[in-house]
Amino acid sequence: MQIELPSGTTWHVREAERKLMHRAQLPGARVFDLAGASLRAAQAKGVSASDRFTLALPASWLVNSPAVSRVLRRWAEEPHRETCLALIELLEAGPAEWSQDPETRETMTLGVASLGDEPYVTEALSKVLALLVPDAVPLMPPAARAFVLGEGDATKDARDAFPRIVDWFARAAIAHEAELAEIARAHRDVTLTGAGVLDRVLWFDSEGHRHFPKIA
């Protein structure tokens, strides 16, 4: 599978199932995946976005979220809870609703920025939203942002990094839906969406391979 990146390079996705299998050996990653599956089931049963958001906050720590507890508490309270719920609603609408609309993309950028001035806000928020809107939001640690957008702080830490990555990710997941779904079906450790496969292989190829130097 070949996926074009916003950086202008082509990402050759190889041995995805093997990489998923190795990732599933990591305790936190496996429990994160189980939490994501449970949150998707909860959504299907009508559990509100507000309740699911509350559950996703502590679950985000399973994949090494840099957010300290006081930041998660701040996001759990108003006005930040309202901002996060608005972002969830916007992202759930899909890229057709926000990709080509500069005003909506700017709203997304400002929403992320309003959650705090911590340098890790984009990464920490992504690790919450990846549980709740897996078809639109991948994990965004610095290495993944650099992998997608290009090397350099000016790119990966730009104010619009979040909407640029979710735009690319959601569209890539749709464009390669059949291939990703086939990989997801073959993965036995936990139930993943096709976009979830893309997210996890992105993590593996950008930095996760460091956990498994013999197969990198």
In a domain, 10, yes or no: yes
In a domain, 216, yes or no: no
78-116 pLDDT per residue, tens: 999 999 999 999 999 888 777 778 888 899 999 999 999
In a domain, 131, yes or no: yes
Domain count, the chain: 1
In a domain, 148, yes or no: yes
Mean pLDDT computed over 137-160:
90
pLDDT of residue 104: 87
DSSP string, the chain: -EEE-TTS-EEE---HHHHHHHHTTSHHHHHHHHHHHHHHHHHHTT--HHHHHHHHHHHGGGGT----HHHHHHHHSTTHHHHHHHHHHHHHT-HHHHTT-HHHHHHHHHHHHTT-S-TTHHHHHHHHHHHH-TTT-----HHHHHHHH-SSHHHHTSTTHHHHHHHHHHHHHHHTHHHHHHHHHH--SS---HHHHHHHHHHHHHTGGGG-TTT-
Mean pLDDT computed over 44-54:
97
Quote the mean pLDDT of the chain: 93
pLDDT of residue 215: 55
In a domain, 201, yes or no: yes
156-185 pLDDT per residue, tens: 888 899 999 999 999 999 999 999 999 999
Instruction: List the domain range (segments joined by +) for residue 83.
Output: 2-211
